[in-house]
Amino acid sequence: DRAVELATAAAEAVGGGLLGVDLMEVGGEDGETRYTVHEVNHTVEFEALNDAVETDVPATVVDWLEATHGAETDDTGGADDTEQVIAE
């Protein structure tokens, strides 16, 4: 899809990562919908998107971050661990 191609190219042009790419629809002379990149944001808001789709967008973002940056979930941590670090 052309919108995905444009958003991906715009994100890659500024170094990639988790970015918000705003596309605007513009009419083509042939009646086909075309897009233009309006802006690329380093801060992302997805409340409206989350309301508009059936996917849990925040959870999907967390999954992507973990996969991309190799984060591991550690369910054993907590207040006791924090207190130990502060005490050391």
54 and 88 in a single domain? The answer is yes
Number of domains forming the structure of the chain: 2
53 and 39 in a single domain? The answer is no
Query: How do residues 48-77 score in pLDDT, each as one tens digit?
Result: 888 999 999 999 989 988 898 875 555 555
Query: How do residues 13-40 score in pLDDT, each as one tens digit?
Result: 999 988 999 999 987 778 788 899 999 9
Report the alpha-carbon distance of residue 88 to residue 52 in Å, rounded. 48
- Give the CA diameter of the chain: 69
Whether the full predicted model's pTM is greater than 0.95, yes or no, is no
31 and 57 in a single domain? The answer is no
Report the alpha-carbon distance of residue 65 to residue 73 in Å, rounded. 12
Encoded tokens for 33: 């919908």
Range of the domain at 2: 1-44
9 and 40 in a single domain? The answer is yes
Report the alpha-carbon distance of residue 42 to residue 32 in Å, rounded. 30
